[in-house]
Amino acid sequence: MKFTHSELLDNIKEIFKGEVNSDVKTLDTYSRDASILEVKPELVLFPKDTEDLKKLVKFVGENKADNPSLSITARSAGTCMSGGSLSESIILDMTKYFGGIVSVSEDEATALPGTFYRDFEVKTLEKNAILPSYTASKMLNTVGGMVANNSAGEKTLAYGKTEEYVKEMKMVFADGNEYTTKPLNKEELERKIAQGDYEGNIYKNLWNLIQENEHAIKYAKPDVSKNSAGYYLWNVWDGHTFDINKLITGSQGTLAIITEIKFRLVPVKSKSKLFVIFLRNLDHLSELVNEILPTKPESLESYDDSTMKLAIKFLPAMIKRMKMHHFFKLMFGFLPEVGMILTGGIPKLILLVEFSDNDEKEIDKKMYELQRRIAHFGLKTRISRSEEESSKYWTIRRESFNLLRQHVKGARTAPFIDDVIVKPQYLPEFLPKMRAILDEHKLVYTIAGHAGNGNFHIIPLMNMKDPKNAKLIPIVSDKIYSLVKEYRGSIDAEHNDGIIRTPYLEQMFGHEIVELFKKTKDIFDPQNIFNPGKKVGGTKEYMISHIVKS
Ligand SMILES: Cc1cc2nc3c(=O)[nH]c(=O)nc-3n(C[C@H](O)[C@H](O)[C@H](O)COP(=O)(O)OP(=O)(O)OC[C@H]3O[C@@H](n4cnc5c(N)ncnc54)[C@H](O)[C@@H]3O)c2cc1C
């Protein structure tokens, strides 16, 4: 039966315990995330429990043939920068009833996907442990969003992305049943395949797909230390272990709805020190990065002159964000930066190199080694003397995107080429070429990012009321992504594909691999119930027509 809007509403209300909303205000709120896109959903649902999810998935599956546009998009905090949490059909807000920590120990924690990372961290820190892939948005996002986007952050250089920390999950597949997914050895995999049921067939078909295309899949893996683009078929089977969590992580809710996650945690190191390097130009950036990396810092982050100017311009807001009480003392702490701006001595890029250890002597040894290795560059450097001083640099780095989002008048942040990555050794060639493209189109932008990984967040500021700007987005994207391909990089290291980058996956991976992505989606979700148009099936036309106009 083909539903009208009110019939759909009534039918869902009959099977669903949680709230079902379709008032204008709610639909408006959920038509946006942190991306540059706008998509109005038909319904916003707050599932009470797994039974709600199971019934809803079965309902959509049963009615999909008569209502092809019906689909389900799980949404957590909605901070996705690629439009992954937007949909024209049903949005499931997981933050209301699907939050909570099931258990925490020194080395693992189990949580529901709608748990905010900030609450999760409080509990893990009580055990002196941490999930080290936390993001710059750690005060805003959830652990489920981190898994679904395969998020990463300032400690990823030393610890890797979220994909490294997912031990086991529970999720609802497209048949409307909940399953546990964990790493399997070959015998366990064979037993799973022998089940011959819905779950067994997923394992069988995925195993066959990976075996039959072994060579192409291996070659498709981006040659960088971080990647969120595509389905990570290359990570599922390592010759000993078959782990579909490696595929679900980063799949943006297109293969299943995650209902519980068991994370591996790492111990917190008790001491850390920050080494700051001021670069007048980018000429020796990659040589510098290559000298820094062997000293094994825990973080190697960066922000540019535009970011710093912005931070100084909005100093009171920045200090508020630091949640520290000595307002005037902190204002005073920024005087060197204000001075740099006034005297025109502002550096082009600032590198933050952080070392952590339980033994302070080890940190000092590494700091000394770093000083020795970079002495010949003759750069201005500074060893941060206090936690407050370090916090100043970190706040500028972490808050750069948020500051832009909240404070720029007459223009807005336009994240669309916001997450490119190439191997650090290519930076001296890559960065000037990338800047030339941005300058050719007269874009105003900030750059901040994970220099140690060669991953930069480029955030243009654009007036989206001007239709010329929306037209620029695919033009600039095409050029930047062609450049990324030349260096075998990835178009997204951590912010994922969503609506904004799915149309470019073929440019990055080629036709053969994109066909394998389609087959992967088909294995898990043949009716296209989960989050359509992300990872597969997205078009440039759809993307362009949903760019915000304000
Ligand atoms: C100021 C700012 C700074 C940021 N900094 C970083 C950063 O440093 N590093 C980084 O990686 N990202 C960063 N991001 C992007 C974003 O915060 C991360 O991707 C984050 O992990 C998303 O979490 P969320 O809870 O908001 O998820 P959402 O935005 O709600 O969802 C993200 C994706 O996950 C899917 N999803 C959500 N819940 C589920 C579920 N239960 N089951 C299946 N799929 C689900 C959604 O459909 C969507 O595709 C930043 C964003 C902002 C606004």
Q: Which atom of ligand 1 is nearest to the CA of 80?
A: 29
Check if 145 has its Cβ closer than 6 Å to any atom of ligand 1: yes
Give distance in angstroms: CA of 465 to centre of ligand 1.
26
Q: Which atom of ligand 1 is nearest to the CA of 144?
A: 38
Looking at residue 330, its pLDDT comes to: 64
What is the average pLDDT score of the chain? Answer: 93
Q: Evaluate: CB of 172 within 6 angstroms of ligand 1.
A: no
| DSSP string for 80-103 | -SSSTT--SSEEEE-TTTS--EEE
CB of residue 155 inside a 6 A radius of ligand 1: no
Q: How many whole angstroms separate alpha carbon 100 and alpha carbon 117? A: 11
Reported confidence tier of residue 314, pLDDT bands at 50, 70, 90: confident
CA 412 – ligand 1 centroid, Å: 20
pLDDT tier at 496, thresholds 50, 70, 90? very high
386 pLDDT tier (thresholds 50, 70, 90)? confident
pLDDT confidence tier of residue 327, bands split at 50, 70 and 90: low
| pLDDT score at 311 | 79
Task: Choose the weakest-confidence range: 58-72, 279-293, 398-412, 514-528.
Answer: 398-412
Residue 490 CB less than 6 A away from ligand 1: no
Q: pLDDT digits over 432-491, tens only?
A: 899 899 999 998 888 888 988 999 999 998 998 988 888 999 999 999 999 999 999 999
* Contact in structure between 72 and 54 (CB atoms under 8 Å): no
Whether the pLDDT of residue 535 is over 60: the answer is: yes
> Which spans in 375-466 are helix H?
387-407, 427-440
Residue 265 to residue 102: CA distance in whole angstroms: 15
pLDDT single digits (tens) 70-119: 999 999 999 999 999 999 999 999 999 999 999 999 999 999 999 999 99
Q: Residue 547: pLDDT band by 50, 70, 90 thresholds?
A: very high
Q: Using a 6 Å cutoff on CB, does residue 142 contact ligand 1?
A: yes
The confidence score (pLDDT) of residue 321 equals: 62
Give the per-residue pLDDT at 322. 58
CB contact set of 113 (below 8 Å; sequence gap of 6+) = 74, 76, 94, 98, 142, 143, 144, 145, 147, 148, 258, 259, 260, 261
Phi/psi of residue 314, each to 5°?
-110, 40
pLDDT at 333 over 90: no
Q: What is the average per-residue pLDDT within 286-310?
A: 90
**Exposure string (b/e) for 314-331, b if CB count within 10 Å is 16 or more?**
beeebbebbebeeeeebe
Q: Do 103 and 110 meet the contact criterion of CB atoms below 8 Å apart? A: yes
Ligand 1 proximity of 451 Cβ (cutoff 6 Å): no
pLDDT for 406 equals 73
pTM above 0.85, yes or no: yes
Tokens in use for 441?
């189109």
Q: Is 495 in the pocket of ligand 1 (CB under 6 A)?
A: yes
pLDDT tens-place string over residues 206-264:
999 999 999 999 999 999 999 999 999 999 999 999 999 999 999 999 999 999 999 99
pLDDT in tens, 169-197: 999 999 999 999 999 999 999 999 999 99
Ligand 1 centroid – CA 488 distance (Å)? 25
Ligand 1 center to 77 CA (angstroms): 7
Mean pLDDT of 356-369: 95
Residue 445: per-residue pLDDT = 87
Residue 89 has what pLDDT? 98
Query: Residue 83: CB within 6 Å of ligand 1?
Result: no
CB of 514 closer than 6 angstroms to any ligand 1 atom: no
Overall average pLDDT of the 300-319 stretch: 80
CA of 146 from ligand 1 middle (Å) equals: 5
Q: How far is the CA of 80 from the centre of ligand 1 (A)?
A: 4
C-alpha span between 134 and 471 (Å, rounded): 34
> Does 324 have pLDDT greater than 60?
no
Query: Ligand 1 pocket: which of 37, 137, 398, 490 to mutate (most atoms <8 Å of CB)?
Result: 137
**pLDDT surpasses 70 at 320:** no
Indicate the top mutation candidate among 35, 36, 80 to test ligand 1's pocket, ranked by most ligand atoms within 8 A of CB: 80
Task: Compare 118 and 309 and report the one with higher pLDDT.
Answer: 118
- Banded model confidence at residue 412, pLDDT cuts 50, 70, 90: confident
Condensed to tens digits (0 to 9), the pLDDT of residues 139-157 reads 999 999 999 999 999 999 9
pLDDT (0 to 100) of residue 411: 81
CA of 54 to the centre of ligand 1 (A): 23
